[in-house]
Amino acid sequence: MSSARYSRSGRVRPQGSGFELAVWYLMRLTGLGLFVLVLSHYLILRVLYDPAEQTASWIAEIRWSSTFWRAFDWLMLTLVLFHAFMGMRVVVSDYISGRARTIALSLLYLLAIALFAMGSMVVFTLDNVVPRA
């Protein structure tokens, strides 16, 4: 009989304290946060507003003119990136070892930082005005 503890929720909770336990809890929190944010995003943009009226100018003039919507989209971006890249970190750690793991994790972290920086720049600096042709 195996002595490993199995969890119905997926990965076994790490023993003790430290970085791995913090990431384990944060993965669950970001998953829950993503569920709420993505479901509300879908309901608002597909049920409350008519998708046929949602053009690029509608997004820039109506939706992104509000600080609330920019913060909402930035929070969703942050949670998606954290959840996805920490999940990939687990996969890389499970299947790659040695120096290749260090290189793969370094590239993964660099990609996550670059995508976060680019996404944040778009959310915070995109003008509210769309030029009319």
Kindly report, residue by residue over 48-102, the tens digit of the pLDDT. Answer: 877 787 777 777 777 778 888 889 999 999 999 999 999 999 899 889 999 999 9
Six-digit token string for 61: 């003039």
Which residue from 77, 56, 79, 76 is spatially nearest to 126, judged by alpha carbons? 56
C-alpha–C-alpha distance, residues 105 and 99, integer Å:
10
Domain borders along the chain are 19-125
Q: What tens digit of pLDDT does each residue of 19-58 get?
A: 888 888 899 999 999 999 999 988 988 888 777 877 777 7
Candidates 10, 5, 127, 123; CA nearest to 73 is 123
Q: Which residue has the tokens 């996805």?
A: 84
The CATH label, of 1.10.730.10, 3.40.630.10, 1.20.1300.10, 2.40.110.10, for the domain at 19-125 is 1.20.1300.10
Whether the predicted model's global pTM rises above the 0.85 cut: no
- Residue pair 104/96 in contact by the 8 Å Cβ criterion: yes
